[in-house]
Amino acid sequence: MSKIKVLLATGVFFPDVGGPAIHVRKIAERLVEEGLEPTVLCYGDDPSHTEFLFKVIRISRNHHKAIQWLLYFFYALRFTLYASIVYAFDPTAAGLPACLATKILGKPFLIRVGGDPIWEREAEEGRRVMPIVTYYEKGLYKQDKPTLFKMIKWVLKKADRIVFYNQFWKDFYNKYFDVPLQKILIVKNPVFKRENASPILKENPIIIFAGRFVSYKNLPRVMKAFENARVKIGKGELLLIGKGPDQEALLKLKDSLKSKNHIDFVASLPQEQLFEKIKESAIAIGPALSEFNPNFILEALSFGKPVLLSKGHGLSVDLDEEFLFDPLNQEELEEKLEYLLEPNNYKKAVEKIGALDMSQSWEKVTDFHLSLIKQFAQK
């Protein structure tokens, strides 16, 4: 019996970071273990020429974007011809060409959606710096990106199943993109406790952020809140890890603050080095105007770290109010920082984090995707 061939179409893949890159790698590795034959199609290059137990086709980002897309579509068409099923991991750069290929060749098409590219693009470029719910309630998506909206809606309409990682996205896409509920499946992102996770509050505790330096990540408000909180409690360091278009503006803001010697910027780090920074920190912060199940926060929780996260986060674990704040309310963030950095409060916070249900392993997640792929590949 021939192996089930699976095309995994993604915008990003190793060495790029992010949710889709991690998911695709984990799923591909599991498919190989179970005797299936996955091929990963992605954009980007890998200078290290890392070898995998599955084929990886990379479309270089050095081409003009239109050429990139045409090349991606060509390879999607080529590999879909021999595949039993195609599974895409975004609705635009990978999802559109992959969907077109499956419709031309009559193959099953699955898609996992982990965000909204319309709001993300507008917020990232600083044109619409507001929470995603506000953006959609005002109908701005129809004004800003009407063609992109119709394209995403078409891709989702053609999918056999659509996978989200929480209830928020299920309700969101059902409401605004008319995705039928019977097409939707939910599998939570992995979140699990690591061994030897025993946070302690050091004399000069570190508050850590890791992610892209873009407008909707709300970092200026974090820096100002940190400065005010530090004046009151007399301790603390702020560590911002990442890169992005707002970096220069953030560095200028740092230089204008009295606490500038207590704010450090570090370029994006490989996963293991990031884990070491998390372990050295007291609190992880996810301050974005809209943030949905951020992997960085999940990693911090896995190490038992208290977190401060913007409300409406869509996290796959339930957090008490003391760990949440209104991303537009700087004073509330200051108060939460001051509260958590008090030793007795920190100790109680660690106990609460330790009591959370964090039992969603990668094995459970890849089990779900394996079962789904087999179900539709054999139809």
> Quick check: is 244 in a domain?
yes
Give residue-wise pLDDT tens across range 73-95: 999 999 999 999 999 999 999 99
pLDDT at res. 314: 64
> Quick check: is 87 in a domain?
yes
pLDDT at res. 256: 96
- Is the domain of 24 the same as that of 139? yes
Report the amino acid identity of residue 145: K
Q: What is the pTM of this model?
A: 0.82
- Is the domain of 249 the same as that of 130? no
- Is the domain of 221 the same as that of 180? no
Give residue-wise pLDDT tens across range 55-65: 999 999 999 99
- Is the domain of 264 the same as that of 167? no
- Is the domain of 177 the same as that of 227? no
Of the listed ranges 108-112, 147-151, 241-245, 253-257, the one predicted with least confidence: 241-245
- Is the domain of 12 the same as that of 160? yes
> Quick check: is 14 in a domain?
yes
pLDDT at res. 197: 59
Closest among 135, 340, 100 to 236, alpha carbons compared: 340
Q: What is the CATH number of the domain that holds 130?
A: 3.40.50.2000
- Is the domain of 40 the same as that of 29? yes
pLDDT at res. 195: 62
Give residue-wise pLDDT tens across range 166-179: 888 999 999 999 99
**Domain interval for residue 44:** 5-190+362-377
- Is the domain of 184 the same as that of 297? no
pLDDT at res. 316: 66
pLDDT at res. 45: 86
> Quick check: is 199 in a domain?
no
Helices (H), the chain: 19-33, 65-82, 95-105, 117-124, 132-137, 140-144, 146-158, 167-176, 219-233, 247-256, 271-280, 295-302, 330-340, 343-354, 362-377
> Quick check: is 83 in a domain?
yes
**pLDDT at position 212 over 80:** yes
- Is the domain of 174 the same as that of 234? no
Percent of the chain at pLDDT > 70 equals 96
If one counts the domains in the chain, the total is 2
> Quick check: is 64 in a domain?
yes
Give residue-wise pLDDT tens across range 303-351: 999 999 998 666 767 788 999 999 989 999 999 999 999 999 999 999 9
pLDDT at res. 196: 59
- Is the domain of 284 the same as that of 179? no
> Quick check: is 269 in a domain?
yes
**Both ends of the chain: CA-CA distance in Å?**
16
* Whether the Cβ atoms of residue 210 and residue 274 lie closer than 8 Å to each other: yes
Question: Given pLDDT bands bounded at 50, 70 and 90, which one contains residue 268?
Answer: confident
**pLDDT at position 193 over 80:** no
Question: Given pLDDT bands bounded at 50, 70 and 90, which one contains residue 358?
Answer: confident
Q: Residue 331, Cβ neighbours under 10 Å: how many? A: 11
> Quick check: is 185 in a domain?
yes
- Is the domain of 173 the same as that of 210? no
pLDDT at res. 93: 95
Q: If you average pLDDT over residues 204-222, what whole number do you get?
A: 92
- Is the domain of 34 the same as that of 145? yes
